[in-house]
Amino acid sequence: MAGGKETPRQKMIGMMYLVLTALLALQVNSAILLKFQFLDESLMEVNGKTVNDNAGVLTNIKSAVNEGGNRSSDARVLNSAQEIRKQTSEMVNYIRSIREKLVKETGGMNEEIANQYANPSAEDKVAMTMIGAANANNGEAYKLKDKLNAYAKFLKQYNPSMPAQLANDGKDDPVAKNDKSQRRKDFAELNFGETPLVAALAVLSQKENEVLKYEADALQKLATQVGADIIKFEKIFAMARAESKTVAAGTKYKADMFIAASSDAITPTMTFQGKPVKVVDGKGQVEFTASASNYDAEGNSKQTWKGQIKINQNGRDTVFTVEEQYVVAKPVIQVQSAAVQALYFQCANELNIQVPALGATYDPSFSASGGSAIKGAKKGLVTVIPSAAEVKLTVSSGGSTIGSESFKVRPIPKPEVVALVNGRPVDMKRGVPASSFRQVTLEAIADDGFKQLLPNEARYRVTKWRAFLVRNNRPIDQAEFNSPTANLTNFASKATKGDMVYIEVVDVKRLNYRGVAVDAKTGRDLSWNIPLN
């Protein structure tokens, strides 16, 4: 029944058809008979208007052909339109002749009640007229089926959306085929078996409506070929176009306000920069990633995009050009970190990179030269690990490059190593009593500033050191340790006043952000002479 796009009138007819189908399935009573009559009269009223509309389209085609100089191509279109109108008129007249015959066979009109049938039910008369005697299959409905389907075959050459058949048996009918008792019936039995007069008339008016609907579609297609079609805009809406959506306080806001419209009767083809644009409800959806290469002193770049809208009007393509200006604002990269001035060499420097101008569309990715960049779990977070004296971090969003930021790279501050005896710092001038020289701990302490910025990188440990018990500049005992703390009770048992303990740091390690131990540069020889007294 319905195509992809229908006029309000066609939608109304579709609803009437559904109601008609539902009523046919109900048990017949006087109230339902009145509803059938109402449907029939409503359909016939619409059909009359459609006949006039279709005749008007044919008149428009004639006028357009005359105005065009009666070109041979236009004349062929006119001949086709006239043939369609002729075949349709014959089909409609035939259907109406069946209506008249049915009314006559069932007793005509009621002489006492205006606009009422003498016998609105008369199922037996309807069956005899439309189906025929038992097993004869010679009623009017069989002739009607052949004529309707012949008309559909004729019209399909002008209207490709025309169905192959207008009169279906139960097995082919979209509704009846789902009902076991109905799908075995042929067209005549399905539409006119056990059917009261008013219902049969409603079926006939519905078939007439289908004929007129498809004729209208075919004539409209022919009209577009010669310029006789009239575009009717069903959707009218208000629009406004501003000079700029961003206005500074104290400046004027300017905009144009106007009425726009779209039509279901035409399907415009729209392109942007030569590429097709998706069209929804008559409006093209233009979407692209804004970019610019040159910006003014204020960080703005004026750009222009062009599009085309093409409609087939009067059989000819009409092209409208759209040109719009827009301003691309240079995105400002904001680096949020306590260490934005310089990064630490071979350390995990965490940065928060934001581009406020992009708002919710900001979808960052990062790349680095002079180091590596690891994208964080949250939007904008990135860890930069420098491997050179300078790192250049490039920021992109949605596949488009936003810009780059360069960072100087500073070396890791050297740790300070201190010696503790029995948990206390050693006074190198006064020394330590020989009898109490027991536990020695070597602590590697990170630079305060480095530790505050990158606590996960500022974890040091003395992993190897040596101790020598020295008397008169000669070692009398020695030991090597692989942990920061060692027990030197053995030295204390041998030591006398005036001896010295010489401590030499061999290796210091730093745990990086991955928990991997790496060599820590201490920058000088770390050794002490601790006097024993």
Among 298, 287, 293, CA closest to 361: 287
Distance, in Å, from the CA atom of 285 to the CA atom of 187, rounded to the nearest integer, reads 47
The Cα–Cα gap between 392 and 382 comes to: 13
Q: Which helix (H) or strand (E) holds 342?
A: strand 342-344
C-alpha span between 393 and 404 (Å, rounded): 5
CB of 268 within 8 A of CB of 279? yes
Task: Show the 3-state SS of 453-480.
Answer: HCCCCCEEEEEEEEEEEEECCEEEEEEE
Q: DSSP assignment, residue 432? A: B
Do 197 and 122 contact (CB within 8 A), yes or no? Answer: yes
19 contacts 199 by C-beta, under 8 angstroms: no
Complete domains list, the chain, with CATH:
8-226 (no CATH), 235-325 (no CATH), 334-410 (2.60.40.10), 416-531 (no CATH)
DSSP code per residue over 197-217: HHHHHHHHHHHHHHHHHHHHH
DSSP string for residues in 298-311: TSEEEEEEEEEEEE
Containing H/E element for 84? helix 72-105
| Pairing state between β 400-410 and 342-344 | parallel
Cβ pair 532, 456 in contact under 8 A: no
Distance, CA of 191 to CA of 21 (rounded, Å) = 10
Q: Are 440 and 420 in contact (CB under 8 A)?
A: yes
Q: At what angle do helices 30-67 and 8-24 cross, to 10 degrees?
A: 150
**The predicted structure's pLDDT at residue 2:** 41
Q: What is the pLDDT of residue 477?
A: 92
CA distances from 492 to 320, 359, 471, 500 (A): 101, 70, 13, 11
3-state secondary structure of 407: strand
What does the radius of gyration of the chain's CA atoms come to, in whole angstroms? 47
pLDDT of residue 230: 52
pLDDT of residue 30: 63
Q: What is the pLDDT of residue 23?
A: 47
Task: Name every residue whose Cβ is closer than 8 Å to that of residue 9 and which is 6 or more positions away in sequence.
Answer: 46, 49, 50
Which residues pair with residue 425 across a beta bridge? 420
Distance CA 485, CA 419 (A): 10
Can you give the length of the chain in residues?
Answer: 533
Rounded CA separation 216/218 (Å) = 5
The contacts of residue 48 (CB under 8 Å, 6+ apart) are none
Rounded to whole angstroms, the Cα distance separating 291 from 274 reads 18
Cβ atoms 343, 384 nearer than 8 A = yes
The list of the chain residues with pLDDT below 70 reads 1-31, 135, 227-234, 242-251, 253, 263-266, 298-299, 312-316, 337-341
Per-residue pLDDT at 236: 77
- CB atoms inside a 10 Å sphere around CB 436: 11
Instruction: Say how far apart CA 395 and CA 403 lie, in whole Å.
Output: 6
Would you say the C-alpha torsion 144, 147, 152, 153 has a positive or negative sign? positive
